[in-house]
Each structure stands twice: as structure tokens, then as C-alpha cells.
Amino acid sequence: MKIYQKPYIETAWFDFGLKDVNKFFKSVTLFSDCTDTEKPRGTEYNIYVYYKVDNDKDWRLAGRGGAYASQEIDFTNDNSCAGKRIKLRIAMGSNTEDNETPRLRAVVINAVLRVPVKRSWQITFTLEPMKDLQDRQLTDSPSAIYDRLFEWSNSADMPTPLIMNANDIIADNKHVFIDPASISTFQAVSQMADGSGQKEYKHIGSMVLYEI
């Protein structure tokens, strides 16, 4: 595309500090004003916005505006502008005889970072009873299960992923990391043995597992 032959400002590449993450570039907001305050505000000035994404060789025209305090220009009409980085060329001119340019004060790129999506599983479980679905003894202490889950979620103790096995094929044989389990008490039953007032507690836990 032929660039509008007026004075212009060309920016560096913007990647928002994340070079390998895809972004959706929605629009650019320009903050500008007139150099001659006696002229109609913005009406005699032209601002053209061009952009490149990633390895584009040619500039694309996003749109044009005037010298207004704030104006937003969409990069595309169909929300199709996406990539890992973007740069701008902003050309400025006027329709006046002296060909003055507007004054550009700030530029804001409106974008959304598209973080890679990972599959996850929300699991709810009880710490009691101490047997699995095959009636195999797991432990004599519910706190041992809770401590083990906390150890697995702690990167200092378990820096490598775990292998999740399940009867459900959707969740079977997956490499995962887990968040610390959240435990809630749902029942407290008084023990009738010696009248000591001791209670037996039962707990429900939940945690999230993320596939790597």
C-alpha cells in the first residue's frame, strides 16, 4: 500500500513483553490536538494510521481521523488483526495552506493477550473413609492424604509434573500439575466412648489439575 506522503511517526515493535504469545489487536487510541488553537478543533487536520503485524512487508491502513483530544481507530472492521507483535506508522497533515500538522500527544494500543489454553480438571473428594473404590486401604490418617497433596502441589518439593491415572479415559494417563487442595469440614460427630467430648471430623476437599 502506498503510504500517505506526509510527515509521519513510526513506532518500534510492540509485543507487550511476551514475544511468543498471540495477541488480538482491537484498535489504537490517539490523543492529539491542534497546533493552532484558533482553527476549528481537529476539522482541518488529517491523521492516518498504518500498521504491520509480525512479518508483514507492506503497511496496512487502519483508518484516518482528525486532531481530537481522544479518538479510537479500529485496525480492521472484522476483528481479524492478530499476531505476536505490531508496529504503527502515523502520518499527519492538514488541509490548510501552511500545511501544519497536528500535535500527537500519546498513542494507546488496545489489545488482548491470548494465553495458550490448557485442559484442566476440577476434582472433589473426601478424606474419609480411608479406602479407595476397590476397597484397598489408603492410609490410617486423613491428614496424611492432605499432607501428600500439599507436597505434590509445592514446586519446592515436586518441580516435575505428576502422571494422573483414572478409570475415565478423558482423564487417564495425563501429565499434570495440581493446585493446593482446599479442605472444608462438613461433619463433626461426638465420640461416645469415655465422655471426653472428643469429636470425629469428616472433610471434603477440592483441587484443580492442569495438563502440561
Q: Mean pLDDT per 10-residue run, the chain (212 residues)?
A: 68 93 94 70 78 95 89 94 96 74 89 85 82 72 84 91 91 93 82 65 89 90
CATH code for the domain defined by 8-114:
2.60.120.260
CA distance linking residue 102 with residue 32, whole number of Å: 7
2-61 per-position pLDDT tens digit: 444 678 899 999 999 999 899 999 999 999 887 665 655 556 678 899 999 999 999 999
So where are the chain's domains? 8-114, 120-211
Backbone angles phi, psi at 60, to 5 degrees: -115, 140
pLDDT recorded at residue 195: 60
Which are the contacts of 191, defined by CB distance < 8 A and separation ≥ 6?
198, 199, 200
Tell me if 171 sits within 8 A of 190, measured CB to CB.
no
- Give the C-alpha distances (Å, rounded to integers) separating 149 from 43, 82, 152, 179, 183: 65, 40, 5, 9, 11
Task: Produce one character per residue of 26-58: b if its CB has 16 or more CB atoms within 10 Å, e if not.
Answer: bbbebebebeeeeeeebebbbbbbbbbbeeeee
14-23 per-position pLDDT tens digit: 999 999 899 9
- Give the C-alpha distances (Å, rounded to integers) separating 59 from 48, 75, 100, 134, 156: 12, 12, 24, 65, 48
